[in-house]
Structure 1
Amino acid sequence: MTPPASDATSSSSSSASSSSMVPPWLAALWKRSITLFPLKLVGNTVATLGFFPLYFWIMKNAGQAWVLPLTPVDRLIAFWPWLLPVYLSLWGYIALPVLLARDMRELTGFSLGCAAMTLLALLVFWFMPTAIPNFVVETTPGTSLQFLKMVDSAGNAFPSLHVSFSVFSCVVLARQLRAVGAPLWLRAINVAWAAGIVYSTMAVRQHVLIDVLGGFALGVAFGVATRRRGTAAVPA
């Protein structure tokens, strides 16, 4: 039975109204998220799990590490173990540019950027091994911080890949959010999250200023190098 014309019109109007309530930038982010999702999920998982064995192998087998000196900035930054969740959040943060890649070209660009940046840093770790000073840090047995200190030793310090990944991700995410017309508050959260991760590397005593600066420069360099040339920012 065909509904009365007034009901059909009302239903159509209600549907259109509901659709208009979703901001265009949010719809664009959703569209990006579901594009190539199985490939993004598998690729990001394999890349993350594959990174650690190589990283720790180099840490174990590289030569004698040069201990990096402390700067006045390092002495000013207090030990703040409560920032450990922020430090560990990198592994969720770095997945966002993958999730929000618009197409295969953008996904490949970010992935190759991460791979090249990692390779360069690993070469530095191998041929010029460095370590942070042996900070005296009291940790409660059985906590996440104690586990981190046991597993991720002071080696492989310069440049900080933790910082490089966060800065590179921030640059790419900023580009993606701008492309879909995301609001300023969301773009500010992106920068604040990356800044928090960078700061946390020193606050939990995993890095010092020298290797943070090295990681920052590396992340910015690859962020600029992977920028699409000659393309306007358009909603996707």
Structure 2
Amino acid sequence: MSLKTRLCYLVISWLSCGLIYIASGFVKGTNWIIPETPIDQFIPFNPQGIWLYLGFYVYIPYTFITVKESLVKRITFAFVITACISGVLFFCLPSSIVFPAFKNDGLSASLLAFISENDTEQNCFPSMHASLITLCLFANWDRKNWIRTITCTSITLLMYYCIIAVRRHVFIDLAAGIVLASLVWLVSGVMLRNSTKPNTSR
């Protein structure tokens, strides 16, 4: 598969998620404030985690460009399905969290403040950020290349940690995003496999 084709799939995937994410910012109504759990309280707030949080914008293109050709359509399909399901939840159940106040001192804090000011606050549950990097992890998982697998797993786990550390999400919506991605990945695999089976009926 050519790089151009891979990039087309990447654009389709990101556009579907981006449009849903932006549209959810226009939702009006009372937000469900997602409560913190002991896990959230255990992880200290740290603006420096914003750099790995933003690694999301490198991790996704890397996945689409380097993943096995046989998985490009599957991850694209999974991105679109995840965006649609997340969109329904964003519109039917607007959700937010209690964002901590912090001093805008230093580059990391300034960057986090900029993102906080320009981000939407009605679409925390489920965490699409967590969903998409989870789908990337599944796509990058390769039993024949353990270096790639371990590296991508470590990066994904660190991103999970930083998502909570910068308080863009809490554990409940992070976990919801992971569960959603896991189910969608399974379903997309089954649907694509069935669609490619030869029709033997007469």
Same fold, TM exceeding 0.5?
yes
CA displacement at 1:205 relative to structure 2: 0.8
CA contact under 8 A between 2:130 and 2:178: conserved in structure 1? yes
Residue 76 (structure 1) aligns with: 42
- After superposition, the Cα gap between the structure-2 partners of 1:50 and 1:159, relative to the gap in structure 1 and judged at 3 Å, is closer
| Range with bigger deviation, 149-158 or 160-169 | 149-158
Aligned residue identity for 1:166: I
TM-score by length of 2: 0.84
> Which among 97, 121, 134 is matched to residue 132 of structure 1?
97
State the SS of the aligned residue for 1:94.
helix
Unaligned runs of 5+ in 1: 1-34, 231-236
| Range with bigger deviation, 213-222 or 88-97 | 88-97
CA contact under 8 A between 1:134 and 1:154: conserved in structure 2? no
TM-score by length of 1: 0.73
Residue 95 (structure 1) aligns with: 61
Q: Deviations over 1:195-228 (max 9, x none)?
A: 1111111100100111011011112112333346
Aligned residue identity for 1:156: N
> Which among 121, 134, 138 is matched to residue 154 of structure 1?
121
Aligned residue identity for 2:111: S
Residue 25 (structure 2) aligns with: 59
Q: Which has the larger radius of gyration?
A: 1
1:99-178 alignment runs, 5 A limit: 99-103=65-69, 106-140=71-105, 143-174=110-141, 177-178=142-143
1:213 paired with 2:175, answer yes
Give every structure 1 segment of 4 or more consecutive aligned residues whose post-TM-superposition deviation is greater than 4 Å.
none
Aligned residue identity for 1:130: S
State the SS of the aligned residue for 2:4.
helix
Question: How far apart in 1 are the matches of 2:166 and 2:55?
Answer: 13
- After superposition, the Cα gap between the structure-2 partners of 1:107 and 1:162, relative to the gap in structure 1 and judged at 3 Å, is same
CA displacement at 1:60 relative to structure 2: 2.5
Q: Percent identity at matched positions?
A: 21
Aligned residue identity for 1:139: N
CA contact under 8 A between 1:170 and 1:190: conserved in structure 2? yes
CA displacement at 1:125 relative to structure 2: 0.4
Aligned residue identity for 2:87: L
State the SS of the aligned residue for 2:121.
coil
CA displacement at 1:48 relative to structure 2: 2.5
Question: How far apart in 2 are the matches of 1:168 and 1:50?
Answer: 15
Aligned residue identity for 2:170: V
- Compute the RMSD of aligned alpha carbons: 2.2
Question: How far apart in 2 are the matches of 1:214 and 1:109?
Answer: 21
State the SS of the aligned residue for 1:226.
helix
- After superposition, the Cα gap between the structure-2 partners of 1:116 and 1:53, relative to the gap in structure 1 and judged at 3 Å, is closer
Unaligned runs of 5+ in 2: 195-202
Question: How far apart in 2 are the matches of 1:212 and 1:102?
Answer: 27
> Which among 152, 164, 170 is matched to residue 202 of structure 1?
164
CA displacement at 1:97 relative to structure 2: 3.1
Question: How far apart in 2 are the matches of 1:225 and 1:91?
Answer: 25
CA contact under 8 A between 1:162 and 1:198: conserved in structure 2? no
Residue 198 (structure 2) aligns with: none
Count matched residues.
Answer: 190
Question: How far apart in 1 are the matches of 2:159 and 2:106?
Answer: 24
